[in-house]
Chain A
Amino acid sequence: MSWVSDYHYKWYETLAMNVVRAGGYIPRHIAFVMDGNRRYAKSQNLRKIEGHSHGFEKLANCLRWCLDLGIKEVTTFAFSIENYKRSEDEVNGLLDLAREKFQKILLEEQKLNEHGVRIRVIGNIGLLPEDLQALIAKAMVITEQNGKLFLNIAFSYTSRDEMTQAVETILKLGDELEPSDINERLLEECLYTRHTPPPDLLFRTSGETRISDFLMWQLSSTILYFTNILWPQINLWNFLSGIFAYQRANLRLDSFKRQKRLEHAQLAKYSNYYSLRVQRFLQSLDCYRKSVLLSLSTSN
């Protein structure tokens, strides 16, 4: 199964896609919490790992729909740091599945480049086995020139860990910074999601109405869409319902979001964010992250 599926639309599905696209206000960035794989497996008398495999197939469909709808960025919550608490068998099964899928990226390089898909993995990948770290790094490096669809995979991730990592980065690498340079704008730039706009829509399946430590910092003006369907059962209509709900919500929340964007810009303007000192720090952060990635990708 490919990362981007070759989904064949029926005529009425194409019509629905065109209608939704014509409505405007397509989210630029959508985040998925792919919940319900294990419950689906249980309901179908399958092994847990088969539920996760079915879940991946649906992700490939979703990526296809996102590409066709013109959504530029997708972030998926694949594996939480909290998931290490699961049984050893299940964790190993999930890591094997991840190995298989990241290998697939390396094999599908040409196809991903054709679609313009850039893979970015966000999370504490230092907690993962070394071979998987190398695979992840390679997948990120070989797709880094693409820019049509950004796929961010939250793997070995929790939002608290991400925020702690941002604080840690400032404390460890910010020798040249002044205390007055530190504000929420700078902290935001030190998150794993630097260079990524906040999600416009968070789509969570399986009827749960919590966020489960996913992108907590970034969700301040994101529309949360909760649906009862289990992730492996998601279809085009569920997906389009979420987009339609976002389009309508966006009409109502537009002024609030505009005000937040203005405050965000003002914060950068009136703090030291554009100072040479801060910009040099951010450049050095980018260089540091890039060098870590390159060294991981060249390791065996």
Chain B
Amino acid sequence: MIDRLYKLIWLAVHIIVSIYETLCFLYLRFQALIIWSYDFWQNSASITRRDRAYLLGCKAELTKLPKHLNLIIGPDQLGCVNESVVTNILSYAQILGIDCVSLYDVRSEGVSVKQIFKRRKSYWKELQHNQFELGPEEYESTSKDINKNGCNVNGYARNGNIVGENGSLCNGNAYKNISSAHMKVYQISNEDNRPLLAKICRKLFQQRDTSNVQKLLADRKQLEQHISEELANHMQWNFVDPDLSIIFNRDTCSFGVLPWQTRFTEFQTFETGRYMNAENFANVLYKYSKCEQRWGK
């Protein structure tokens, strides 16, 4: 009897928290609808210009930027993470000069990076299976973009005031096509996670009688280094470990993404229902920028 009462109390608390979460979700969706409606009446070129100016302003304030941004899309149905969300993030990452973005979608019918690129006008090429190189987007500035400070950030409440204070940033980088560096995009599949380590182990096992492998077996640090190199070789290009993972799921879980490479990755859960625009993307980066790595010290 008393156990039933306890269960009832647990259920009551669970329901109250669920109602609170639902209200938060509805509020975020309502907010998203307003932002989306505002953007709907703008043409895409002006949105791009606005985002560019805003993000470049943020870049000046951020103390650090991830070199490798990892996106994890969980199985949460409410997440509604579709191609347009990933496309936006890729554009923002490119504006900010992030070297590499990797995407791991655990859903059976997840977002395909290749499909996104096929729809883009800008240059891209497939380096090898699931690895892409993305060229800069066509971008032309117009006099309309420039306000009296030399910068138009209309539509966003800025976190700081560096952009446009003296016009130096906006008059310079923001109005040239600065994202000329090619960004690498990697679609991670489950085969890149634990099975890849097993594959490397199998390869070493087949060569275990060679002097090279015997030498590795004499020193675990060397073997560890060798495994890191083998994993990097698999990626073909200079693949740094992810600095930041954005998880699109209500519950924080790594879903087993790159167990070797994510040891010092900052995991941030993007609130389900929140609209992914330049401002919210920048907020994630502001949070990341405040993280201090101690590397065990």
A223 and B296 form a contact (CB under 8 A) = no
Is B3 an interface residue, CB under 8 A from the partner? yes
- How far does the alpha carbon of A71 sit from the alpha carbon of B275 in the complex, in Å? 38
A82 and B296 form a contact (CB under 8 A) = yes
B3 and A22 form a contact (CB under 8 A) = yes
> Chain B, 193-216, contact with A by CB distance < 8 Å: what is the 0/1 string?
111011011101110100001000
B266 and A179 form a contact (CB under 8 A) = no
- How far does the alpha carbon of A183 sit from the alpha carbon of B202 in the complex, in Å? 8
A179 and B206 form a contact (CB under 8 A) = yes
- How far does the alpha carbon of A183 sit from the alpha carbon of B197 in the complex, in Å? 9
Chain B interface size, under 10 / 10 to 19 / 20 to 34 / 35 or more: 35 or more
Find B263's partner among A166, A179, A212, A225 (CB 8 Å cutoff).
A212
A179 and B220 form a contact (CB under 8 A) = no
A184 and B197 form a contact (CB under 8 A) = yes
Find B251's partner among A81, A182, A244, A253 (CB 8 Å cutoff).
A253
B7 and A22 form a contact (CB under 8 A) = yes
- How far does the alpha carbon of A30 sit from the alpha carbon of B271 in the complex, in Å? 25
B267 and A224 form a contact (CB under 8 A) = yes
Cβ distance A217 to chain B, nearest Cβ, rounded Å: 5
Binds B, one of A46-54, A167-175, A288-296: A167-175
Q: Give B7's nearest chain A residue, CB to CB.
A: A22
Within 8 A of B (CB), among A200-230: 208-213, 216-217, 219-226
**Contact status of A167 and B227, CB under 8 A, knowing A187-B194, A216-B262:** yes
- How far does the alpha carbon of A163 sit from the alpha carbon of B262 in the complex, in Å? 14
- How far does the alpha carbon of A253 sit from the alpha carbon of B256 in the complex, in Å? 14
Find A19's partner among B6, B206, B213, B254 (CB 8 Å cutoff).
B6
Task: Please name all residues of chain A whose beta carbon is closer than 8 Å to the beta carbon of B251 when the two chains form the complex.
Answer: 223, 249, 252-253
Task: Please name all residues of chain B whose beta carbon is closer than 8 Å to the beta carbon of A183 when the two chains form the complex.
Answer: 195, 198, 202
Find B205's partner among A80, A165, A182, A244 (CB 8 Å cutoff).
A182
> Chain A, 1-38, contact with B by CB distance < 8 Å: what is the 0/1 string?
00000000000000000111111000000000000000
Task: Please name all residues of chain A whose beta carbon is closer than 8 Å to the beta carbon of B76 when the two chains form the complex.
Answer: 252
> Chain A, 240-258, contact with B by CB distance < 8 Å: what is the 0/1 string?
0000100111001101100
Find A220's partner among B6, B217, B255, B291 (CB 8 Å cutoff).
B255
Binds A, one of B9-17, B159-167, B176-184: B9-17
Task: Please name all residues of chain B whose beta carbon is closer than 8 Å to the beta carbon of A163 when the two chains form the complex.
Answer: 197, 227, 259-260
Q: Give A259's nearest chain B residue, CB to CB.
A: B75
Task: Please name all residues of chain B whose beta carbon is closer than 8 Å to the beta carbon of A23 when the two chains form the complex.
Answer: 7, 10-11, 14
Task: Please name all residues of chain B whose beta carbon is closer than 8 Å to the beta carbon of A182 when the two chains form the complex.
Answer: 198, 201-202, 205
A172 and B217 form a contact (CB under 8 A) = yes
A80 and B220 form a contact (CB under 8 A) = no
Is B283 an interface residue, CB under 8 A from the partner? no
Q: Which of B14, B75, B217, B263 has the most CB of A within 10 A?
A: B263
7 closest Cβ pairs, A-B complex: A82-B296, A220-B256, A22-B6, A23-B10, A249-B251, A213-B263, A216-B259
Given A182-B205, A217-B194, A223-B252, 10 other A-B residues pairs in contact with their CB atoms under 8 A? A85-B297, A159-B263, A163-B197, A171-B205, A179-B202, A209-B268, A211-B262, A216-B259, A253-B251, A255-B75
A–B complex contacts, Cβ < 8 Å, 28 sampled: A20-B10, A23-B7, A23-B10, A124-B220, A160-B224, A163-B197, A164-B224, A166-B201, A167-B200, A167-B201, A167-B223, A171-B204, A171-B208, A183-B195, A184-B197, A187-B194, A187-B201, A188-B194, A209-B266, A210-B263, A210-B291, A211-B254, A211-B265, A212-B296, A217-B194, A219-B259, A248-B14, A248-B18
Interface residues of chain B, those whose CB is within 8 Å of chain A, are: 3, 6-7, 9-11, 13-14, 17-18, 74-76, 106, 193-195, 197-198, 200-202, 204-206, 208, 213, 217, 220, 223-224, 227, 250-256, 259-260, 262-268, 291, 293, 295-297
